[in-house]
Structure 1
Amino acid sequence: MGNGILDIGISGLLTAQNQLLTTSHNISNVATPGYNRQQVILNTNTPQSSGAGFVGRGVHSTTVQRIYNQFLVNQSLQIQTQSQSLDSHFAQIKQLDDMLGDTTSGLSPALQNFFSALQDVASNPSVIPSRQAMISNGEALAARFQSMDQRMSQMREGINAQVTSLVVEVNSLAVQLAEINQQITLAEGASGGQPANDMLDQRDELINRLSKLINTDTIRESNGSVSIFVGNGQALVVGSQVLSLKAIQSPDDPSDLTLGLISRNNTIQINEDQVTGGVLGGLLSFRSETLDSAQNALGRIAITLAQSFNEQHQLGVDLNGNMGVNFFTVPSPKVISALTNNPASNITASISDHGALTTSDYQFSYDGTNYTLTRLSDNTSVSTLVAPSGGAPLILDGISVTGATILTNERFRIQPTVNGAKDIAVNIADTTKIAAAAPNRTNAAVTNTGTGKISAGTVNPLPLDPDLQQPLTITFHTPYDGQYDVTGTGAGLPATNQAYTEGADISFNGYTFQISGSPAAGDIFTITPNLNGSADNRNALLLGALQTKNTVENGTASYQSAYGQLVSQIGNKTRELEVTSKSQANFLAQIENTIQSTSGVNLDEEAANLMRFQQAYQAASKIIEMSNTLFDSILRIR
C-alpha cells in the first residue's frame, strides 16, 4: 500500500511539475510573436483491479498541446494577405492622386495659362511680346506634361525596386520554412509523434510573414511538414525542398519587372493576375490597373492636344506670309517586341485618328493564319489574312499597323499614348512663325449694287489644297438669273453657271465661304491671299476655341474635361481603396482578437494557474510524505 500511495504521489508530483513548467513557459513568452498558449493534457493511469473494485493509480501527462484554432488562423491569413494588398495599392495610388489633384502643380493651371497667352495673341496678333509669352507658356505646358510623366515613371521604377527587394525576402522566408519543416519532422519523429509546439509556432509565424508579401496556400503533410504554394498553385516549399522566385523582365514590356519561378534551371513566369494578395499583389495590381492607364490617359491628352493644335495651326499663316508649321512635336506610338521574337521581326504602327485613341495598350500578333490587332483592356480585336500594308492597314481605335515582318506565334505590344506626355515639346522658337492669321481674305467689290455679303471663310481640314492661296473671283450673271461664275486657278475652275443659294457653303481650292443676302447682276466677290496679315487674328481665335472643343475620346471631351475625368477616376479609386483598406484592417483586427482570446497568453489566468499547480505540487509532496510515514510505521512493527 505504501508503494502504491508513493507511486500516486510521484505521478501527481510529476504532472504538477509539468504544469508548472508549461505555465512558466507561457508567462515567459507572453510577448513572443506568433506564440500560442500551451497546456498539459492529463490522463489517469490504468487502475488496479481488486475485490473491492478498481483502485486508482494516479495520473500521467499524455502531451503538451498548443491552444490553436486552424480555421481561425487560415481565415486570418486570407484576410491579412488581402489587407496588405489593399494597403500597398492605396499607398501607391495616394501618391498619384496627390500629384494629379494638386491645384498648383497639376495640369489644369498650365493648360489655362497657355490658352490665356493664346487669347492675348488673338487680341494683339502683331505684338511680339504676346507671341513670345505664348511660346513660353507652351513650353511650360510641355514641361508640366513631362514632369508629371517623369513622376509616374519614377513610381514605376520604384515598383520594380520593391518587387526585387520583396522577392529576396520571400526567398529568405521560403528557405527558413524548409529548414524548420525538416527540424519539425526530425523532432516529432524522435519523440514518437509528440508535437514540437514551439517549432510549430515559429513555422506559423514564418507563414504569417510570407502571407503579408504574397498570397499563399498551405497543405499539411502526413510527416508534419507544410507545403507552401503561391500565386495560382505554384509550389514554393515542398517539405524541405525550396523553389525560388525571381524578378524578371516582363516578356511583353521589358521595362516592367514581374515574377518568375525558378524550377530545374528554368524560369517560369507567374501570371500577374494570379498574384492577388500581399504587398507584391498590391504593387502589381496598382501598376496594371491604375498606373498604366493613368500614364496612358495623360499621354492621350498630350497627343490629342499636340495633334489637334497642329492641324489648326497649319491652316493659318504666320507674320512672314507662310502657312503654319507644327506648333508642337507629336509623340509617336511605342512598339515593343516580345523577348521571344526574332530580332529581325518588326512592325510599323502609327496614329491615324488621334480623337479615337483610348487609354489601353494593344497587341499585334500572328498565329500563322491571321494577323490580329487586339485591345488589351477588353480583348476586342480585328484581324486580316494578309500582312497589313500602307494600302491595306489594320486599324483599331485610331491605331494603324501599316507593315509587319513577323513570324508565326510572335507578338508586339503597341503603346500608342504611353510616351505622349514624355515626348511632347514646342516645335517653334521664332515668334514670327505663330500662324495667327487666316491665309485668305474675302472682299465684296465696292461697285456692287446688291445686298450680298461674303463671309470671312475657313480653310478646309488637312491636307492643304496646293491652290489654297490662288485668287478667286465670283461674278453674278448679267442679267441676273440666280447664277454666278467662278474664275481662277485650281481644280474645277473655271466653274460656270453655279446656282446661288443664300448661306450655302461654297468651296474651291480648299477654302469654304458663304454668300448671304441678295446679290445683284454683275456683283463681284473675291478671295485673295492674305499678304499682310499682321493684324489678322482669325486663326488665333480658332486655336483658342480648341480649349473648349471636344476633341478627345471620339469628340466627347475637351482637354480639360478629359484631365478632369482622369483626376476624378483616380480620386474615386483612391477613396474606394482607403475605405476598403480600413474595413479590411478592422476585420483583420477582429479575427486576431478572436485568436488571441483563445490562443493568447493571459497573465492573470496564468498567475492563477501557477498558484493552483503549486498547490497541486505541494499536495502531491504531502502524499509522498504520508507514504513515507506509513512505511516507517510498518518497519516499526515487531
Structure 2
Amino acid sequence: MGSSILDIGVSGLLTAQNQLLTTSHNISNVATPGYNRQQVILNANMPQASGAGFVGRGVHSTTVQRIYNQFLASQSLQIQTQSKSLDSHYAQIQQLDNMLGDATSGLSPALQNFFSAVQDVATNPSVVPSRQAMISNGEALVARFQSMDQRMLQMREGINSQVTSMVVEVNSLAGQLAEMNQKITLAEGAASGQPANDMLDRRDELINQLSKLINTDTVRESNGVINVFVGNGQALVVGSNTLSLKAIPSPDSPTNLTIGLVSRNSTIQIPENQITGGALGGLLSFRSDTLGSAQNALGRVAITLAQSFNAQHQLGVDLNGDMGVNFFTVPSPRIISALTNDSASNIAASISDYSALTASDYQFSYDGANYTLTRLSDNTSISTLVAPSGGAPLTLDGISVTGATILTNERFRIQPTINGAKDIAVNIADTTKIAAAGANRTNAAITNTGSGKISAGTVNPLPLDPNLQQPLSITFHTPYDGQYDVAGIGTGLPATNQAYTDGADISFNGYTFQISGSPAAGDIFGIAPNFNGSADNRNALLLGALQTRNTLENGTATYQSTYGQLVSQIGNKTRELEVTSKSQANFLTQIENTIQSSSGVNLDEEAANLMRFQQAYQASSKIIEMSNTLFDAILRIR
C-alpha cells in the first residue's frame, strides 16, 4: 500500500512540477512577440481493479498544449495584410496630396502669376519691364512644373528602393520559414509527435511578419509542415525548400521595379494586380493607380498650356514686325518598347488633338492580325487590320500612331503626357520676341462718305496662310449696288462682286474681319501688315484670355480647373485612405485583442496558477511523506 501511495504522490509531484515549469515559461514570455500561452494537459492513470472497485493510481501529463485559435489567426493575417497595404498607400499619397494642394508651392500661384504678367503686357505692350516680367514668370511657371515632376520622380525612385529592400526581407523570412519547417519536423519526430510549441509560435510569427510585406496564403500539410504562397498562388516556401523573389524592371516600363519569382534559371514576373496586400501591395497600388495618373495629369496641363499658348502666340506680331514663334517648348510623348520586343521594332506616335488628351497611358500592340491601340486606364481600344501610316493613322483620345514596324505579339507603351511637366521650357529670352500685337491693321479711307466701319480683325487658327500679311483693299461699287470688290494677292484674289451683309465675317488670306454699317458708293477699306505694333495689344489680350478658356477635356475645362480637379481627386483619395486605414487598423486591434484574450499571457491568471500548482506540489509532497510514515509503521510491526 505504501508503494501505491508513493507512486500516486510521485505522479502528482511530477505533474505539478510540469505545471509550475509551464506557468513560469508563460510568465517569462509575456512580452515575446507571437507567443501563445501554454498549458499542461493532464489525464488520470489507469485505475487498479480491486474487490472494492477501481482504485485510482494518480495522474500523468499527456502533453503541453499551446492555446491557439487557427480561425482567428487566419483572420488576423488577412486583416493585417490589408491594413499594411492601406497604411503603405496612405503614407505615399499623403506626400503627394501635401505637394499638390500647398497654397504657396503648388501650381496655382505660379499659373496665376504668369497670366497676371501676360495681362500686364496687354496693358503696357511697349514697356520692356512688363515683357521681361512675362518671360520671368513663364520661367517660374516652368520651374514649378519641373519641381513638382521631380518630386514625383523622387517618389517613384523611393518606391523602387523600398521594393528592393522589401524583396530582400521577404526572401530572408522565406528562408527562416523553410528552416523552421525542417526543425519542427525533426523536433516533433524525436518527441514522438509531441508539438514543438515554441517553434510553432516562432513559425507563426514569421508568417505574420511576411504578411505585413505581401499578401500570403498558407497550406498546412498532414505532417505539420506549412507551405507559403504569395500573390495569386505562387509558391514561396514548400516544406524546407524556398523560391525567391527578385526586384526586376517592368517589361512595359523599365524605370519601374516590379516583382519577379526566380524559378531555376529564369525569373517570371508576378503581375502587379496579383500583389494586393502588405506594404508591397500598397506601394505598387499607389504607383500604378495614383502616382502615374497624377504625373500624367500634371504633364497634360503643361503640354496643353504650352501648345495652346504657342498656337495663339504664333498668330501675333513681335516688336520686330515678325510673326510670333513658340513661346514654350512643347514636350513630346514618351514611347517605350517592351523588353521582349525585337530591337529593330519601332513605332511613331504624336498628339493630334491636345484638347482630347487624358491622364492615361496607352498600349499599341500587334497580335498577327490586328493593330490595336488601348487606353490602359479602362482597356478601351480600337483596332485596324492595316499597319497605321501618316495617311491612315490609328487615333484614340488625340493620340495618333502614324507608323509601325512591329512583329507579332510585340507591344509598345505610349505615355503622351508623362514628360509634360519635366520637359516644358520657355523658348524665348528676348523681350522683343513677344508677339503682343495683331498681325494686320485695318483702316477706312478718309474719303469714305458712308457710315461703314471695319473691325480690327483676327488671324485664323494655325496653320498660317502664307499670304496673311499681303495688303488688301475692299472697294464698294459705284453706283452702290450692295456689292464690293477685293484687290490683293492671295488665294481667290482678286474677288469681285462680293455681296455685302452688315456685320458678316469676311475672310481672305487667313484673316477674318467684319464691315458693319452702311457703306457708300466708292468707299474703300484696307488691310495692311502691322509693321509698327509696339502699342498694339490685340494678341496679348487673346493670350491672357487663354487663362479662362476651356482648352482641356475636349473643350470643357481650363488649365486651372483641370489642375483643381487633380488636387481634388488626390485629396479625396487621401481622405478615403485615411478613413479606411484607420478603420482597418481598429478592426485589426479588435482581432488581436480577441486573440490575446484567449492565447495571450495574463500575469494575474498565471500568478494564481503558480500558487495553485505550488500547493499541488506541496500536497503531493505530503502524500509522499505520508507514504513513508505508513511504510515505517509497517516495519515496526513485529
- Shorter chain as normaliser: what TM range? over 0.9
Distance in 1 between the 2:391 and 2:373 partners?
17
Alignment-derived partner of residue 538 in structure 2 = 538
Equivalents in 2 of 1:459, 1:355: separation in Å? 20
* 1:253-285 residue CA offsets vs partner (Å, 9 max, x unmatched): 000000000011210100100111111011000
1:627 to 2:627 alignment: yes
Cα shift readout 1:205-257 (whole Å, capped 9, x = no counterpart): 11111111111001111111111111111010011000000000000000000
Asked if residue 270 in structure 1 is aligned to residue 275 in structure 2, the reply is no
Match of 1:554 in 2: 554
AA in 1 matched with 2:321: G
SS at match of 1:39: strand
Deviations 1:35-54 (A, max 9, x none): 10000011111111222221
Question: 2:635 and 2:528 mapped to 1: Cα distance?
Answer: 143
Question: Amino acid of the residue matched to residue 195 of structure 1?
Answer: P
What is the CA distance between 1:518 and its match in structure 2?
1.6
Partner of 1:468: 468
Question: Which residue identity is paired with 2:304?
Answer: T
What does residue range 394-433 of structure 1 map to in structure 2 within 5 Å? 394-433=394-433
Distance 1:380 1:502 in 2: 49
Aligned amino acid, residue 544 of structure 2: G
- Paired position in structure 1 for 2:163: 163
**Which residue identity is paired with 1:145?**
F
Deviation per CA, 1:75-100: give whole Å up to 9, x if none.
Answer: 11111111111111111111111111
Code of the aligned partner of 1:403 = G
Distance in 1, matches of 2:378 and 2:538, equals 43
Q: CA deviation at 1:514?
A: 1.1
SS at match of 1:41: strand
Distance 1:467 1:510 in 2: 8
Cα distance in 2 for partners of 1:426, 1:452 equals 43
Give 1:538's aligned amino acid. Answer: R
Distance 1:503 1:154 in 2: 57
**Matched position secondary structure for 2:573:** helix
Map 1:189-338 → 2, pairs under 5 A: 189-338=189-338
Identity over aligned residues, as a percent?
87
Amino acid at match of 1:141: L
Partner of 2:599: 599
Structure 2 unmatched runs, 5+:
none
1:389 matched residue in structure 2: 389
SS at match of 1:365: strand
List aligned pairs for 1:489-568, cutoff 5 A. 489-568=489-568
Offset of residue 383 of structure 1? 1.0
Task: Classify the secondary structure of the residue corresponding to 1:407.
Answer: coil
State the distance in 2 between where 1:428 and 1:232 align: 54
Alignment pair present for 1:586 and 2:578: no
Identify which range, 628-637 or 226-235, moves more after superposition: 628-637
Distance 2:627 2:633 in 1: 10
Once the 2 structures are TM-superposed, how far is the Cα of residue 60 of structure 1 from its aligned partner? 0.8
Count of residue pairs brought into register by the alignment: 638
Mean CA deviation greater in 429-438 or 511-520: 511-520
Q: Map Cα deviations across residues 608-632 of structure 1 (whole Å, 9 max, x no partner).
A: 0000000101111111111111122
Q: What is the CA distance between 1:57 and its match in structure 2?
A: 1.1
Given the alignment of the two structures, is residue 27 of structure 1 paired with residue 31 of structure 2, yes or no?
no
Distance 2:515 2:374 in 1: 48
Opposite residue 542 of structure 1, the aligned amino acid is L
Deviates most, 368-377 or 441-450: 441-450
In 1, the alpha carbon distance for the partners of 2:170 and 2:235 equals 13
Q: Any stretches of 5+ residues in structure 1 without a counterpart?
A: none
Deviations for 1:458-497, whole angstroms, at most 9, x for unmatched residues?
1000000001011111111222222211111110111111
Shift of 1:314: 0.4
> Normalized against structure 2, the TM-score is what?
0.99
Indicate the RMSD between aligned Cα atoms, in angstroms: 0.8
DSSP 3-state at the match of 2:317: coil
Deviations 1:510-556 (A, max 9, x none): 00111111222222111111111111000000000001101011111
User: For residue 447 of structure 2, what is the aligned residue in structure 1?
Assistant: 447
SS at match of 1:546: helix
Q: Which has the larger displacement, 307-316 or 471-480?
A: 471-480
Normalised to the residue count of structure 1, the TM-score between the two structures is 0.99
Between stretches 439-448 and 225-234, larger displacement belongs to 439-448
**Cα separation, 2, equivalents of 1:530 and 1:418:** 39
SS at match of 2:548: coil
In structure 2, C-alpha distance between the alignment counterparts of 1:519 and 1:54, rounded to whole Å = 134
Question: Which letter maps to 1:597?
Answer: S
**One-letter amino acid of the counterpart of residue 187, structure 1:** A
Whole-angstrom distance in 2 between the partners of 1:524 and 1:368 = 65
Write the mapping of 1:10-25 to structure 2, written as runs, cut at 5 A: 10-25=10-25
Q: Partner of 1:258: helix, strand, or coil?
A: strand
Q: Give the ranges of 4+ consecutive aligned residues of structure 1 lying more than 2 Å apart after TM superposition.
A: none
Q: How far did 1:499 drift?
A: 1.4
Please tell me the residue identity of whatever aligns with 2:155. Answer: M
- Cα distance in 1 for partners of 2:387, 2:544 equals 42
Q: How far 1:324 moved relative to its partner?
A: 0.4
Residue 456 of structure 1 is matched in structure 2 by: 456
- Give the AA of the match of 1:19: Q
Q: Secondary structure at the match of 1:547?
A: helix
Q: Whole-Å Cα distance in 2 between the matches of residues 637 and 500 of structure 1?
A: 151
CA distance in 1, matches of 2:78, 2:382: 40
Q: Aligned letter for 2:82?
A: Q
Distance 2:289 2:122 in 1: 42
Alignment of 1:337-356 (within 5 A): 337-356=337-356
